[in-house]
Every structure is written in C-alpha cells, then in structure tokens.
A and B are shown apart, each in its own frame.
Chain A
Amino acid sequence: MSGSVRPRFGAGLRRFFYNRLAVVGLGILIAIAAVSLLAPILPLAHPNITDLAMRIMPPGTEGHVLGTDQLGRDILSRLIWGTRISLAVGLSATAIAAIIGSLIGIVSAFYGGVIDNTLMRGIDMLMAFPYILLALAIVAVLGPGLFNALIAISVVNIPFFARNVRGATVSLVRLEYIDAARLSGKNNFKILFGELLPNVMPVIVITISTTVGWMILETAGLSFLGLGAQPPTPDLGSMLGDGRSVILTAPHVATLPGLVILVLVIGINLVGDGLRDVLDPYLRAGALVSPRPATEVDAKLLARKRAEKADDRRAGESEDGNRKTGAPGGAQSDGGDSGQPDGDAQSDGDGSGHSDGGAPHISELPLSVRNLRTWFWQRDAQIHAADDVSFDLPKGRALGIMGESGSGKSVTALSVLGLVPTPPGRIMDGSVAYYGEELVGAPLEKLRFYRGNRIAYIFQNPMTSLNPLFSVGEQIAEAVRRHQPVTGEEARAKAGELMDMVQIPDARRRINDYPHQLSGGMRQRIGIAIALANDPDVIIADEPTTALDVTIQAQILRLLEDLRERYGVSLVFISHDFGVVSAVCERIVVMYAGEIVESGSVEEIYRRPLHPYTRRLMACVPKVGSRGAEMDAIPGLPPALDRLPAGCRFADRCDMAIEACTSAPVPLEEHANGSPFGAREVRCIRAKEVTV
C-alpha cells in the first residue's frame, strides 16, 4: 500500500511546485509564520505597553517603524503578535472543525442507517443558518472572548467537513476492499481509521484549504466587532476595530492590520488552489481546459495553404470570376440537394495514394480526405492520433471507418470540420475537401457554414451529445434556423417533420420533451434528425449505435440505410464493429494506431482480410453488435501513440511479424483494383502471402 502511495506523493509534490502561484503562496505563508513564531525573540517593543505621549504616530517615527496607535502602542509589534494570535486561533478552529466534522462524516457514512440520518439531519440544521449568524448566536450565549469565538467558528465550519467527508466515504464504503477488510477480521475501528481515513484524507485537506481562509477572516471579524479578542490582546481583527475610531486622523492604524489579513489569506488561498489542483482527481484530469471553436491548424501548414490559395486565385482569375473567395455564402447555397459542383476545378487533383483509373475528380467528391495528420500536443508528448489518412467519398455512397478505440477513426472524422478539441488537437498536415473546397485551415466562418449544413455529424452517445436543458424540438429547430432563413414557427414545424422522418412516434407531442424523457434509441433518432435538418451532402456518424441495445441498434442502422437511399446522402460510418459497418457501408477503411492499415469493399474484406489486424478485429465479432468488446478482443495493447515504433505499428501484437516488419515503416500499398470508389489497399509486407 505505502509503496503505491509514495511515488504518487512525489508526483503530487512536483505538480504542486510546478504551480508557480502556489509556490508564491507557500512563500508568503512561510514568511508570515516564521515572523510570528519568532515574535518573542525579535527586537520588538512590547505589544501592550502604552505610551500616551507617543499616541497616533505616523509610520516612520523614530523607534516605531509603522507608527503607534491611539494608546501609543507600537503597531509593528502589535501586528506581529496579532498575526500570531490570528493564526493560532484560525488554525485551532480549523483543526477542531476538521477533526469533529470528519469524524461525523466518516462515522455517518460507515454506519449508515439511523446514525447517518440523525447526524446528517443535524448537520443540515446547522447549515440552515446563514454562516456567520450561527457563530454570532453561539458567541451571544458564551459571551465575547477569543476562546468563545474560536468555538463558534469551529462549530459553524463543522458541516463543511462532515458533508464532504461523508460524501467521499460513502463511495469508498461500497468498494470491495472494505468488505475484504471486514472479512479479514479487522474491527470497525481499524477499518475506519486504518482504511477509510487515509483514503478520505485528500478530501479533508481540500476542505481545510477552502475553509481555513474563511476561519481566519471570521476570527478577525468577530474581534473587529468586539466579540472576539478582548483588549489589550493584540489581534488583527481587534486592531482593525480599534483603528476605526481614528480612521480619519490616522488611517494607518486600521489599514495595516487589514493588509496583513489580506496578504495572509491570499497566501492561504494560493496554497489551497495548488493543493486542490494536486488532490482533486477531477482537476488532475485536466478538466479545466476548454476547447476552442475549431481545431488548430499547424502554423506552417496554414501558411502553405494560404500560399497555395493565392496561387490558385491568380490562376483562376482568368477563367472564372466567382470562384472560392472563402465567403461562406458563396458556394453551394442552393439547398445543396443536387450537390452540383459549381464548376470549381480545384487545380491540383493530387491523387497521391490512389491511382485507379477513372476515379472521379476531387471536385466531384462530396468528401475527399488527403494525407490528414492530426496530432495531440501534450506537455511532453505528441500523440499521433491520425497519421497520413486518405480516403474519398463519392456522392451517395457509404464508407466505413473501422478500428479499436484509439485507432484514430473519430479523430479523423472530427478533423473534417475542425471539431477535434484544441488543446490538445492540432491538424499538422493534409487536406479535407468538400467538392474541391478546402476545409483545413478555412476561416472559422466558413467552417461554421459547412457544419451541420453540408456536412453533418451524428455522435456516439445521444445522452451526452444532446443538451439536457433544451427540449429536443428546440435542438432540432435550432439546427434548421442556423442555416435556413425561416421563422421560429417554421423551424419548429420543420423539426416536427424531421422527427416524423426519423420515425419518432407521436412526434407532435414529443417535440416538447427533454432528452432525459426519451429512451436511448429515441434520443439517437433526435441526433439523426438534427443531422438531417439541412439536407446535408455528407453525414458523418461516429459510432452512432455503440451506446444502444442490440435491437435498437438494428433499427437505427435500418433507418440510416433507408435515409441514405432516399436522400442520396453520402455517409461516413465509424465503428469498431465489423457487423455494424458491413450492414451500412460499401467500402471499409480499417485504422490502427492512427493509420489506415487496409481498405477495400465490405465483401473483399469480409472474404479475404489482408491485414492481420483486420482478421483479428473480425474474429472478435461473431456476436454482432455486442457492446464493450472493443479493447479486450485482441491480446496486447496498441502502441503508445507518442512513442511509435519505426516499423509496423501492429508488429507487437501480430502473430505473423517477422524482422522486416519492425525495421522500417510499412507503406500502404495497392493490392488490387476494382473496389468501389477506391483501391484495395493494405499496409502489410506479408499481405501477398494471404491465401484464405
């Protein structure tokens, strides 16, 4: 146990010191603590010695660096001694509140039932009072005084500890290891303090870090009101209170103690923030970075794109005036149903990697992805999430992208309209074209014009990808209104039609339902309705059925198939499940560790998978549409995407691997032609040996 805690502790410490502000806070606290601890041996005047001849001296007076108060007492000395007292009281109050509160929380969670109920209702009652009011009531009863203020402040802070610790303990008590500890004959005391307490310690520390600042402020506050420290005790709060009466003539008397409190509490808050960053698993996961509106495009790539575009424009001016100026409304504004390419001959039809004759020109393809490279830039690693991915999607066809989680299939799909979160995502290279119109590096306005309009997405989890606070009708209507000049009323009517279209029974009534009121399958139908809202040319469905039950899965697949046939939408369908992909798609691209390893028609791949990975992937699919079989199906793990091997990325897990596999990169080579919209390709040096 301690073995596993130690390195984490070290890492936490490093993380804490990485946070510069927290270190500053720690410095402030150490300095203040050192000075106040050393107060007795510092050459200071006695804090309580009055000298009426030296009343209210300004700072800088001989012998009184910070001046004197209205009784002629040395302010510097009183500040230091006062800080000592404020710190002592604040920390004691924190300790008392932490110990009693945590005890209540841990016992409450561990025993549950009546004990839990009684304790927590009591805590609720305490919290029903406004914070300081209860402290006042307690001081009112006990009488003014520093010790009574300490008790009052401890009591009002107990609920925070009790609640937080109870919450953390409850989740632990249900875990198996507590049962194991019980079975191993440990008594309750040992479980409570040996097993549970160490594990809820981070929560206690976090709660301390948030409350200790308040407690110091409240201690000062009560003293300020004359209810805490009594004269002549030097306390920051009471000094402030005393200074109030001379605020007009000698403002420094009240100003200085307040400044000391401010600096002290700032230090505490900085350290507290640092501690929370380290201890809160939620923050540790980096949850506090929000993605930008569009994926970042690497600066070099962007510069190159701009240069190419400028060249293009120069070349194009002679032939065609209204060519892509980047204005969003320019291209494809005619509802787009026909998707007629507007005579826009994107000059460089760089068919690199694809060489089958008679392939449609890039300007005739609703979607063409070329050498796409999207990486995740992390502090000390570059994750090659998608590396050199290329595929074409002709009008009305369906392409499947298949692979394990982490294979780069979703990243590829999201890169199309810049929906990969940045940070950490960045498109490093390649091009994505909609009927020849370049989307990588396009201005945000242009991306927004295409998003949900010409190219629409259906996402994996309809529970999380719908906004829980808006009715489904509104979420569909919103998509309609964004791209069509309709009134709210018309958009709503259209939303109803779309709901009918995706076969939601009783659409008129359900239009006002919220996502949580619908079943998973119905929610995904809403997701599809949103995708269909503007008659897109391309729909990108990212594992649209993975989160659904098998029977619902089949219904959704049928619906997608049906809609595709009826409206001639081109479809990119992403799944880890060959069964699902083969039900919808004509052509499949298999991805592994960010690369395409094989492509071909569904039939070819089904009959004769060329890549060992594809074979493995298909071997674990006898149960069509089973959930969660993604990771474990193939022994071993994909390579870390920031430390990729030089050779074949699958070699480690491959039973056919030979030495040549690992020595040099394996190219994606054409194996045969004649596949629908694209060649039969494989990235394996032993593919020719496959005879199945």
Chain B
Amino acid sequence: MYRYIARRLVMMVPVLLGISIIVFFIMELIPGDAAQAILGSYATPENLARVRRELGLDQPLVHRYFIWLGNILQGDLGRSYILQRPVLDEVLDRLGPTMLLAGTSLMLAALFGMFAGVVAAIKQFRWQDGLLTTVVLIGISTPSFWLGLMLTLVFAVELGWFPVSGMSRVVGGGGIGDILHHLVLPSVSLAIVATGVIARLTRSTMLEVLRRDFIRSARAKGLNERSVILKHAYKNALVSIIPVLGIQTGFVIGGAVYIETVFQWPGIGRMLVGAIQQRDILLVQGGVVVIAALYVIINLIVDVLQSVVDPRITV
C-alpha cells in the first residue's frame, strides 16, 4: 500500500510539470504580451517596459518558463494588479469556500447517485427504475446555473427557507449552522449533474455486475439478495464507479465557477470569472495552477481508494 502511494506520488511529478507547461504556454498565447494585457492599450512605453521587466518578459521563452516555475515552487504566483495583493494569498483565501462547496456537492452526488443507481438497478423495469431514470435524465440535462436560480427563487425568495446568497467567509462567519444554512442551495445545485451521472453509471454497472458468474455463485451459496447486491455486486460496481468519482470531482470543481457566481460564494470560481473579465491574468493563472494541482492530488486519492477496493491493483 505505502509503496503504491509512493509510486503514485512520484508519478505525479511529470503530470504537475505538464500542467505547468500548459498553463505557462497558454498564457504566452495572449496577443501582444502579458504586460500589454495588464496595462491595456493606452499604456505608456515606459510602463510597458517596466512591467515586462517585472514579469521577466525580456528573457527567452524557456528561460522565462523556468524562472516562472521556480517562483511558483517558492509560492510566488505574482501580484494581482487589480487587487494589489499577492495572488497566492488571494487564492488561498478563496480555496476554503470552494473546497467546502465542491466537497459537499461531491459527497451529496456520490451518496445519492450511488443510492439511486443501486435502487434503479434492483428495481429494473419497475416504477422505481422508471422514476429514477427520468429524474436522472432531467438532472444531467439541467444547466446548473439555471437550477441555482430556480432553487433560489423557490426556496429562498418564495419560501424563505434559505438565504438567497452571500456567504461572506467560512471562518469567523456565523458558525457552522450559518455555513450549512448558506451551503444547502449552492451545493444541491452543484451536485445535481454529478448525481445524475453517478446514478446512471451505478445503475448500468450494477446491472452488468449482477450478470457475472460470481453473482450466480453467491446465490448458489444461498446468500440472500441483500448480501448478493450490497456485498458482492456493489463492491464490484465500485471498481467502475470510483474512477468516475474522480472525473466528476473535476466537473464539480469546474461547475463551482457557475454556482459561486450565482450564489456569490466567495470561492476561486467567482474570483476567476472576475479576474477574466478584468483581465487580471496573473490571478487567473494562479487560480488555475492551484486548482489543477489540487485536482491532481484528488486523483491520487481516488487511485489509492481504488487500490483499497480492488486487490488486483498492485504496485
């Protein structure tokens, strides 16, 4: 197990390098250059030269990449021109709310998705299956940002059960109860698509697993359906579901961009949208690098989880 984790950690290095290269070169694609983009078209030549020097843009490309990489590794993601504060500080401030939102949504999606999928599979062709399949179809077809608005309209505006938006801070706000209260609508909106995807996958995987020989063996032992389905079939279905949980994490983190905007959630997604609109390129870059790195770590966790479930995965 530890050897497996160690190996996966080593394998992360090239992926992280690759991410850094992609981010770096995407940023290089900016028409004109970053200095121009930051200062706008009315910038004076002196200012442009100063910013270029500050950003190291007067150096050759590869050289610049390594300087940039070195800075990142030291935690220096540059300074946000709009906010006038280090990018890293801003990103870290906003990482917590995003992780809280995405984590909650993912948990909801995994729980409800797998539950719905298992129920639909064992009630195949009955009304439960039909109902769940329909709900899931609508779920995966719904624009999450629209759903967020609709939920706000119904549950916040009309019924007044939840706040419309505006959680200001995770720490030091109104305590856990307040956070949860603010969390319900955004996390549900964000979870809905992932729930649908997981439910569909769980259903089809369960149906496929239930046809395998070892299920017949389990029944031939006289086991009841509970053991057959929840122990033998479900654990095997997990082998297919866990990697998709990893992929869905990516979708949920990405989808947080919309939901944070709808609910004015103080996370990285909303920060990115603002930064893009204001062309605060370094802030965008910092946010993307940190989230991508986080995602790599999440995928590592998913892989480890997979190896726990499936003994066939070895070093």
Whole-angstrom distance between the alpha carbons of A139 and B275 in the complex? 11
Q: Which of A133, A139, A213 makes the CB contact (< 8 A) with B292?
A: A133
Whole-angstrom distance between the alpha carbons of A251 and B150 in the complex? 9
> Which A residues are in CB contact (< 8 Å) with B45?
none
A360 within 8 A of B: no
Please determine whether A290 and B296 come into contact, CB atoms closer than 8 angstroms. no
Whole-angstrom distance between the alpha carbons of A450 and B137 in the complex? 42
Please encode chain B, from 194 to 206, with 1 for each CB lying within 8 Å of some chain A CB and 0 for all others.
0000000000101
B277 within 8 A of A: yes
Please determine whether A244 and B149 come into contact, CB atoms closer than 8 angstroms. yes
A253 to chain B, nearest CB (A): 10
Please determine whether B211 and A449 come into contact, CB atoms closer than 8 angstroms. no
Residue of B nearest to A257 (CB): B146
Instruction: Evaluate whether A451 and B221 lie within 8 angstroms (CB atoms) in the complex, with A240-B146, A467-B232 already known.
Output: yes
A48 to chain B, nearest CB (A): 22
A448 within 8 A of B: yes
Please determine whether B149 and A288 come into contact, CB atoms closer than 8 angstroms. no
Residue of A nearest to B17 (CB): A125
A248 to chain B, nearest CB (A): 6
How many residues in A have their beta carbons less than 8 Å from beta carbons of B? Answer: 84
Please determine whether A290 and B138 come into contact, CB atoms closer than 8 angstroms. no
Please determine whether A128 and B220 come into contact, CB atoms closer than 8 angstroms. no
Please determine whether B221 and A141 come into contact, CB atoms closer than 8 angstroms. no
> Which B residues are in CB contact (< 8 Å) with A125?
15, 18-19, 21-22
Whole-angstrom distance between the alpha carbons of A453 and B222 in the complex? 7
Please encode chain A, from 467 to 483, with 1 for each CB lying within 8 Å of some chain B CB and 0 for all others.
11111000000110011
Please determine whether B26 and A141 come into contact, CB atoms closer than 8 angstroms. yes
Q: Which of B211, B214, B220, B224 makes the CB contact (< 8 A) with A456?
A: B220
Please determine whether A217 and B143 come into contact, CB atoms closer than 8 angstroms. yes
Whole-angstrom distance between the alpha carbons of A483 and B222 in the complex? 8
A258-266, A549-557, A579-587 - interface stretch: A258-266
Please determine whether A450 and B276 come into contact, CB atoms closer than 8 angstroms. no
B52-60, B62-70, B176-184, B254-262 - interface stretch: B254-262
A495 to chain B, nearest CB (A): 13
Please determine whether A269 and B137 come into contact, CB atoms closer than 8 angstroms. yes
Q: Which of B18, B143, B147 makes the CB contact (< 8 A) with A121?
A: B18
How many residues in B have their beta carbons less than 8 Å from beta carbons of A? Answer: 82
B207 within 8 A of A: yes
B45 to chain A, nearest CB (A): 23
Residue of B nearest to A328 (CB): B222
B132 to chain A, nearest CB (A): 14
B214 to chain A, nearest CB (A): 4
Please determine whether A291 and B210 come into contact, CB atoms closer than 8 angstroms. yes
> Which B residues are in CB contact (< 8 Å) with A37?
none
B152 to chain A, nearest CB (A): 7
A521 within 8 A of B: no
Instruction: Evaluate whether A469 and B277 lie within 8 angstroms (CB atoms) in the complex, with A131-B250, A289-B207 already known.
Output: no
Whole-angstrom distance between the alpha carbons of A131 and B225 in the complex? 39
Residue of B nearest to A267 (CB): B141
> Which A residues are in CB contact (< 8 Å) with B208?
287-288
A441 within 8 A of B: no
B159 within 8 A of A: no
B72-80, B89-97, B305-313 - interface stretch: B305-313
Please determine whether A530 and B292 come into contact, CB atoms closer than 8 angstroms. no
B295 within 8 A of A: yes
Please encode chain A, from 407 to 427, with 1 for each CB lying within 8 Å of some chain B CB and 0 for all others.
000000000010101000000
Please encode chain A, from 129 to 143, with 1 for each CB lying within 8 Å of some chain B CB and 0 for all others.
111111111111111
- Near B by CB (< 8 A), chain A positions 240-286 give 240, 243-244, 247-248, 251, 254-255, 257-258, 261-262, 265-266, 268-270
Whole-angstrom distance between the alpha carbons of A254 and B147 in the complex? 11
Please determine whether B254 and A465 come into contact, CB atoms closer than 8 angstroms. no
- Pairs across A and B, CB under 8 Å, 14 listed: A124-B15, A128-B15, A140-B276, A251-B153, A266-B141, A269-B137, A288-B204, A288-B207, A291-B215, A419-B219, A448-B223, A451-B220, A457-B217, A467-B217
- Known pairs A130-B292, A131-B254, A213-B141 / 6 extra A-B pairs, C-beta < 8 Å: A136-B254, A258-B147, A265-B141, A452-B222, A466-B214, A469-B239
